[in-house]
């Protein structure tokens, strides 16, 4: 059977000993609850449309309720992202702000304000409580405890958690920059680079003693790669 020739010096060849290219989807997981979070942004739209057919008090209550529900949707989305980042790391601190719980409170407040237009205070309070509980049932609570820090020197784990968090911020900035270039090939290259970097993050989390050896990469090299990506995207 005929075989296509390919070698080190072929147009699509790779030097010997070079590992095969990684898929840009390596290390990625689908965003949890993505559809449910996006649906929250649509929930206040009927309130906004109906608000302009009400008296001034009803208009104010409806718009305030819609604003509260939009804030709840945004806060919930950030909480889901924070929980996904928490779940992806072996060593992580709990989120400093319980975003999903705050989103549930804002959602209940928005529902209560919207219900107060046509109902009494008791009905509004009851619907607000139901809305808050349903939100918590749909999205759950935020992580309430640190992870992977049992029996480990807290000084070392703090250093690792802080270094990984800063490195993740650099990767996010790099991704935002390359998206401006609108080049799918480069986006795939950046995704593969980020997958390799996150493998190193997991290695450091497994053994915090590796942080000293990797500090130059996490600091100087990664920051330089991010700045170079941003400058290229702005050309």
**Cα 72 to Cα 113: distance, rounded to the nearest angstrom:** 14
Res 189: pLDDT: 85
Low-confidence stretches of the chain (pLDDT beneath 70): 1-33, 91, 148-156, 207, 209-210
Res 5: pLDDT: 53
Res 166: pLDDT: 83
Res 100: pLDDT: 93
Contacts of 192 (CB under 8 A, 6+ apart): 21, 22, 23, 24, 26
Residues 101 and 136: beta-carbon distance below 8 Å: yes
Is residue 132 within a helix (H) or strand (E), and if so which, with residue range? helix 121-139
Q: How far from 172 is each of 4, 81, 196, CA to CA, in Å?
A: 40, 13, 14
Domain boundaries, the chain: 35-139, 154-233
Residues 160 and 213: beta-carbon distance below 8 Å: no
Res 51: pLDDT: 86
Residues 73-87: tens digit of each pLDDT: 999 999 998 888 788
**Token pair for 66:** 């819609």
Res 13: pLDDT: 52
Res 84: pLDDT: 85
**Cα 151 to Cα 156: distance, rounded to the nearest angstrom:** 11
């Amino acid at each position: 059977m005929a075989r296509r020739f390919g070698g080190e010096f072929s147009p699509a060849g790779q030097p010997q000993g070079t590992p095969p290219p990684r898929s840009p989807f390596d290390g990625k997981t689908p965003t949890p609850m993505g559809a449910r979070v996006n649906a929250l942004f649509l929930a206040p739209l009927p309130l906004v449309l109906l608000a302009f057919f009400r008296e001034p008090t009803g208009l104010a209550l409806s718009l305030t309720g819609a604003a509260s529900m939009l804030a709840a949707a945004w806060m919930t989305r950030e909480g889901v992202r924070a929980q996904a980042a928490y779940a992806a790391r072996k060593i992580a601190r709990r989120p400093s702000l319980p975003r999903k719980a705050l989103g549930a409170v804002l959602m209940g407040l928005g529902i209560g304000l919207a219900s107060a237009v046509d109902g009494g205070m008791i009905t509004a309070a009851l619907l607000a409580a139901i809305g808050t509980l349903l939100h918590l049932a749909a999205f759950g609570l935020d992580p309430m405890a640190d992870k992977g820090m049992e029996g480990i020197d807290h000084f070392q784990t703090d250093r690792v958690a802080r270094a990984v968090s800063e490195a993740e911020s650099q990767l996010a900035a790099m991704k935002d920059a390359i998206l401006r270039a609108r080049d799918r090939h480069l986006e795939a290259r950046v995704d593969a680079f980020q997958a390799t970097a996150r493998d190193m993050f997991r290695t450091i989390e497994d053994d915090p003693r590796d942080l000293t050896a990797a500090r130059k990469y996490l600091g100087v090299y990664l920051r330089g790669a991010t700045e170079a990506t941003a400058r290229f995207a702005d050309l």
